[in-house]
């Protein structure tokens, strides 16, 4: 055997060893799905809560992690009053296991708490500690559903970067669409491997949802080189608003209503996914974005901005949104 062949064989064996070690480290890691948006009030928390509850019914061990630090309201949507929240973890070092609330069908909730400045202002070191503990804690789950806050603040981006897949919730509202694009753009600059799905919520009909997705997919492809996946179209449904007022997930109190059917379909799709083959460590990710060590972040490139086109007529706007790109 030539010396060159010998070196090549050694390299192959070494690579196989490293891969095996990485896979072993990855065993037991859940699939992490984040629900995000640019604009607030588009239905993220309702998507997160209902998808998590449906996943539980499908037999998936699910953790609903309210990562809307300081303004979390998943507990309200579920009609529960948690004894502890993440604020107690941050300020008093309360163990995560004590904060988690058990919900029906094997779903667990990690509540953020509302109006808790401690979490909203927690420093990077504290957050790293929490994410590290979370990594150990989540090993027993199949899926972690992250509900995040609106916008592109650092805490939101931190949470989104943890996810294997980010599901962006948008409405047909042009401002929601442009904010969705901005969020995708910024996340892609931080992590070029991030996978995005789009959920169009509060649509008047299927056609409107398809149009909205097509617009976002088109600009993401053209200006970011990204292929977006359509993950669902949820109709505007008064039953969902009724469920919110009842503080119950719509999939539980009106399982047959149109919004519930769409939400159940999204959950089934999440259930069909597996955790990514590429092993990842939450702790490493934390370090990467907190301190930039070995960061895969890309330099900020001047990107075209997406702005809504002028509205033509109220009637036209009711059925379809339009956007144009300004470089």
Ligand X SMILES: Nc1ncnc2c1ncn2[C@@H]1O[C@H](COP(=O)(O)OP(=O)(O)OP(=O)(O)O)[C@@H](O)[C@H]1O
Please report, as ranges, the residues that interact with Mg ion according to CB under 5 A: 44-45
Residue with tokens 């806050």: 149
Pick the closer one to ligand X by CB: 224 or 244.
244
What is the nearest approach in angstroms of ligand X to the Cβ of residue 149?
A: 6
Q: What's the CA gap between 63 and 321, in Å, rounded?
A: 35
| Residue 117: CB minimum distance to ligand X, A | 17
**Residue 317 CA neighbour count, 13 Å, CB half:** 11
**Cβ 44 to Mg ion, closest distance in Å?**
5
Torsion of CA 284, 289, 293, 297, to 10 degrees: 120
Nearest approach, Cβ of 131 to Mg ion (angstroms)?
Answer: 20
Q: Does the protein bind ligand X through residue 179 (CB under 6 A)?
A: no
Query: Which CB sits closer to ligand X, 126 or 236?
Result: 236
Q: Which of 162, 146, 143, 140 is nearest to 28 (CA)?
A: 140
Measured from the CB atom, is 248 or 303 closer to Mg ion? 248
Segment 230-249, which members bind ligand X (CB under 6 A)? 234, 236-237, 240-241, 244
Instruction: State whether residue 72 is helix, strand or coil.
Output: coil
Q: Which residues pair with 199 in a beta bridge?
A: 169, 232
Q: Least Å distance between CB 238 and ligand X? A: 7
241 binds, among Mg ion, ligand X, none (CB under 5 to 8 A by kind): ligand X
Residues 25 and 307: their CA atoms lie apart, in Å, by 44
240 binds, among ligand X, Mg ion, none (CB under 5 to 8 A by kind): ligand X
Which of 28, 40, 79, 95 binds ligand X (CB under 6 A)? It is: 40
Residues 75-114 that bind ligand X (CB under 6 A): none
130-159: contacts with ligand X (CB under 6 A): 149-150
Residue 23 CA neighbour count, 13 Å, CB half = 7
Q: Please, what is the minimum distance in Å from the beta carbon of residue 165 to ligand X? A: 18
- Contacts to ligand X from residues 183-202, by CB under 6 A: 201-202
Question: How many whole angstroms separate alpha carbon 39 and alpha carbon 133?
Answer: 30
Residue 202 CB, shortest distance to ligand X, in Å, is 5
What residue number has its CB nearest to Mg ion?
45
Give, for 130, the enclosing helix (H) or strand (E): helix 124-137
- Residue from 38, 43, 111, 172 that binds ligand X (CB under 6 A)? 43
Give the residue from 295, 137, 162, 300 showing the smallest Cα distance to 224.
Answer: 300
Which of ligand X, Mg ion, none binds 37 (CB below 5-8 Å, type-dependent)?
Answer: ligand X
> If we measure between CA atoms, which residue out of 4, 28, 23, 46 comes closest to residue 202?
46
**Of residues 182 and 285, the one with the C-beta less far from ligand X:** 182
CB closer to ligand X out of 29 and 113? 113
**E strands of the chain, at which residues?**
31-36, 62-67, 101-102, 107-110, 143-148, 165-170, 195-203, 229-235, 305-308, 323-326
Q: Which two tokens stand for residue 79?
A: 């009609």
Residue ranges that bind ligand X, judged by CB under 6 A: 37, 40-46, 68, 149-150, 201-202, 234, 236-237, 240-241, 244, 259
């Amino acid at each position: 055997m030539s010396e060159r062949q010998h070196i090549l064989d050694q390299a192959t064996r070494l690579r196989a060893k490293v891969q095996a070690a990485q896979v072993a480290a990855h065993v037991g890691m859940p699939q992490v799905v984040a629900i995000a948006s640019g604009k607030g009030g588009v239905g993220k928390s309702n998507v997160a809560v209902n998808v998590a509850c449906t996943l539980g019914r499908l037999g998936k061990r699910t953790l609903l992690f309210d990562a809307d630090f300081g303004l979390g309201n998943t507990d309200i949507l579920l009609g529960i009053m948690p004894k502890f929240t993440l604020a107690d973890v941050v300020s008093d070092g309360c163990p995560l296991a004590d904060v988690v609330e058990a919900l029906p069908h094997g779903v667990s909730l990690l509540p953020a708490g509302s109006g808790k400045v401690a979490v909203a202002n927690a420093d990077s070191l504290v957050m790293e500690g929490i994410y590290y503990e979370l990594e150990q804690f989540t090993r027993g789950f199949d899926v972690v559903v992250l509900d995040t806050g609106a916008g592109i603040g650092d805490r939101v981006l931190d949470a989104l970067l943890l996810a294997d897949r980010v599901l962006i919730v948008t409405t047909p509202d042009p401002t929601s669409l442009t904010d969705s694009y901005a969020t995708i753009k910024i996340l892609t600059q931080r992590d070029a491997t991030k996978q995005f799905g789009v959920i169009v919520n509060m649509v008047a009909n299927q056609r409107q949802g398809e149009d909205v997705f097509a617009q976002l997919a088109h600009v993401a492809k053209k200006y970011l080189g990204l292929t977006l996946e359509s993950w669902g179209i949820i109709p505007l449904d008064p039953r969902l608003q009724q469920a919110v007022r009842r503080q119950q997930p719509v999939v539980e109190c009106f399982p047959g209503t149109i919004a519930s059917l769409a939400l159940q379909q999204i959950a089934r799709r999440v259930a069909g996914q597996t955790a990514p083959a590429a092993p990842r460590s939450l702790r490493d990710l934390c370090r990467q974005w907190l301190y930039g060590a070995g960061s895969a972040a890309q330099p900020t490139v001047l990107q075209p901005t997406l702005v809504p086109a002028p509205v033509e007529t109220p009637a036209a706007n009711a059925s379809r949104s339009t956007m144009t790109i300004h470089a």
